Structure 1
Amino acid sequence: MQKNKIIFIGGVPGVGKTSISGMLARKFGIDIMLSTDYLREFVRPLVNDANARDILSVSVYEAWKKFGEKSYENIIKGYLKQSDYICSGISATIDRAAKNGENLIIESLYFNEPLAETIRQKGVCAAYIYISDFTTHTKRLNERQLYTHFNSPGQRLSAQLDVYGAIMKYSEALAKKNGIDTFDNSDFQETAKKIIDSVGRFYGNDKI
């Protein structure tokens, strides 16, 4: 049985990544939990490349503007361009945790093919969370200020659900392609239980 646990929770804003990651941390006694929102803020002032600074200077829901008109293709181009920089940092963090035998949870908006390969190679337990119902997703975003993001009004993000919907569609398909379990979090308690059970099975403990 693998001694340390490295867990990756992917999903766009408002799907419950932070809440479920917190539940997993408490359930499995994991002390280190990293949100890639903070990794992005850390990287922004440090990059020397002008192109990297340019794409990382905007929110992910505006990154498509660097590629022309608003379209599914350009939304994904902008998302993947930001992901190139952030996911390399995630992969390095996973590699460090694996080498040191440390427990780690990463919750991330960003997800790409190289990161999926790292997840596979390092034996990371991964889950991708989405919400299929637009109204439910909007409600969750608008309410998140009450529970986890106290100074970040969700209305700013719910106004961008068309962009997040495109990212969610792309990332969900990528997760499935790479054998990563996906969970529709329309019912939070049910989804949380499923993910906790899934992590337990992954690490050889069915009695969760």
Structure 2
Amino acid sequence: MEEREITIVKGGRQTPFSRGILAQTLAQAGAGPEMAHQIASEVRAELAAEQRFTVEEEEVLARVRDKLVKKDAIAVGRLDKWRILRESSEPVVVLIGGATGVGTSTLAADIARRLNIQSVVGTDSIREVLRHAISPDLLPILHKSSYEIKRQDVRVPVGEEEAVLFGFREQAARVCVGVEAIVDRGLKEGTNLVIEGVHLVPEIIPERYRDHPNVCTIVVHLSDENVHRSRFYIRAMGTAMRRPAEEYIAHFQQIRQIHDYIVESADRAGVNAVENLSIENTSDEVVEIVANRVSGIAERAERRTSPLLMGVDTPRHGIPISQTKSG
């Protein structure tokens, strides 16, 4: 027997009930995929049994919340905060730093998807713009990957063992000028952003962002060097060998040197450092950190009425910027 269609209503809009969209909404808020699909199916079955064929979105979400309380009380808190972030008119800027290969790009894309943020900016894209504006003769450190900088590129007396970190800090400081311009414009215009990349060193990022309620800075790391090394081979296969692992493995010692420096900088600056062993778990943790950071201002701000269960939302506005080679 064919199921009768159930219609969800919110703010004058109507759409057919979709178990897939409801499960996706729950998954984005941090519920496990299996639990999300189970709850979506249970809610659909209950409404059909009660012959509720036209129902307000808020009622559907209330039923979902009641079921979550019994299955995963922690997920309820995440869902509430996630809804506040999704519906807030306040801009949210998430800065995700970390060494080459730890997964900042993948994490940034997932965080943006879950928070419905359309602008994902890589610091390598900013560096690429600067490369076109500034010649290698004038600033050679901009024209090399962060881990490839040599003593002759630095132009000040430093030992060979100090050249990588000295050059990296110089490069990061230059790139962070562009980061600052993008963040300031985003905050001024109410644009939501996720910015990721190796150049987001907590002690180099302007200090005023650390205390800004709309800005959340996070550092991603991998404690185990073997796990970190293996990520380059996984990434190479995922990009059809356009980013061959050998190039990064050849500079792995320098990459780890930068990695440890970024983690130490996060500790000194009091910035959250998250171990990225599983993208799903890391994404949950980062969404929680962002929600705790900005939900206070989001809750006090004007709430938008964009539906959560009607397919593709109107995105949190902004212009996506493409990624370039990492490092």
TM-score normalised according to structure 1 size: 0.88
CA positional deviation for 1:87: 0.9
* Residue 98, structure 1, aligned to residue 184, structure 2: no
- Overall identity of the aligned pairs, in %: 26
- Aligned partner of 1:109 in structure 2 is 198
CA positional deviation for 1:187: 3.3
Match 2:218 to one of 117, 127, 132: 127
SS in 2 for 1:44: helix
- Aligned partner of 2:172 in structure 1 is 83
1:196–1:155 CA distance, 2 compared to 1 (3 A): farther
SS in 2 for 1:51: coil
- Aligned partner of 1:195 in structure 2 is 286
Match 1:10 to one of 94, 97, 114: 97
- The number of aligned residues is 203
For the residues of structure 1 that align with 2:241 and 2:126, how far apart are their CA atoms? 19
CA positional deviation for 1:126: 1.1
CA positional deviation for 1:49: 8.5
CA positional deviation for 1:155: 2.4
- Aligned partner of 2:142 in structure 1 is 56
**Is the 8 Å Cα contact of residues 219 and 271 (structure 2) preserved in structure 1?**
yes
**Is the 8 Å Cα contact of residues 98 and 122 (structure 1) preserved in structure 2?**
no
For the residues of structure 1 that align with 2:124 and 2:262, how far apart are their CA atoms? 17
For the residues of structure 1 that align with 2:240 and 2:183, how far apart are their CA atoms? 25
Unmatched tracts of structure 2, length 5 or more: 1-87, 297-327
SS in 2 for 1:140: helix
**Is the 8 Å Cα contact of residues 131 and 143 (structure 2) preserved in structure 1?**
yes
For the residues of structure 1 that align with 2:126 and 2:98, how far apart are their CA atoms? 16
- Aligned partner of 2:130 in structure 1 is 43
CA positional deviation for 1:79: 0.2
For the residues of structure 2 that align with 1:33 and 1:127, how far apart are their CA atoms? 15
CA positional deviation for 1:43: 0.8
1:36–1:150 CA distance, 2 compared to 1 (3 A): farther
For the residues of structure 2 that align with 1:116 and 1:172, how far apart are their CA atoms? 17
Unmatched tracts of structure 1, length 5 or more: none
For the residues of structure 1 that align with 2:226 and 2:206, how far apart are their CA atoms? 30
1:148–1:178 CA distance, 2 compared to 1 (3 A): farther
Greater radius of gyration (CA): 2
CA positional deviation for 1:192: 2.1
- Aligned partner of 2:114 in structure 1 is 27
For the residues of structure 2 that align with 1:13 and 1:51, how far apart are their CA atoms? 25
SS in 2 for 1:106: strand
- Aligned partner of 2:230 in structure 1 is 139
**Is the 8 Å Cα contact of residues 96 and 200 (structure 2) preserved in structure 1?**
no
Q: CA RMSD in A?
A: 2.2
TM-score normalised according to structure 2 size: 0.57
